[in-house]
Amino acid sequence: MDFAIGELAKRAGYAVQTLRYFEEIGLMPAAPRTAGGQRRYGDKELRRLLFIKHARELGFSLDVVRSLLQLAAHPDAPCEAADALAASHLQEVDDKIARLQAMREELARMVEACSGGRIAECRVIDVLADHGKCLHETH
């Protein structure tokens, strides 16, 4: 198939500006142009964009997506590098989940301890004003 940039963007679920940006930063190859200067794309570019989209939805950075695309271009190569990138990202996600869980626990304690009275006795305001009362270990 042959797509204009607007159709490709729609099929991949991106804004046209994002596709132009991806081309500018090298995530997408420069598109061939018609005699009138219009970019034209095919199924290969759509598959590449969907790969990028899925990787981004999983939280991979653009730099890691670029590395994964480079690895994908060599299907017969060993996959240790791709595994290492995914494992590193998994560790980052696990670390973030642990930080979010600790934040959630502290916020739950603050909300639970608040009696709903006046601001002068508000546990939320009290904890935020006095760092020493916070039980969250990373503060």
What is the distance between the alpha carbons of residues 73 and 65, in angstroms, rounded to a whole number?
12
pTM for this one? Answer: 0.79
* Residues 65, 10 within the same domain: yes
CB atoms within 10 A of CB 39: 20
Which domain does 64 fall in, by range?
Answer: 5-72
* Residues 9, 51 within the same domain: yes
* Residues 60, 106 within the same domain: no
**C-alpha dist (Å) from residue 44 to 7, 47, 99, 129:** 14, 5, 39, 56
Q: Are 27 and 62 in contact (CB under 8 A)?
A: yes
Tens digits of per-residue pLDDT, 39-58?
A: 899 999 999 999 999 999 99
* Residues 67, 90 within the same domain: no
Q: Is the pLDDT assigned to residue 138 strictly greater than 70?
A: no
Tens digits of per-residue pLDDT, 91-128?
A: 999 999 999 999 999 889 888 887 777 888 787 888 78
5-14, 69-78, 79-88, 114-123: least confident range:
114-123
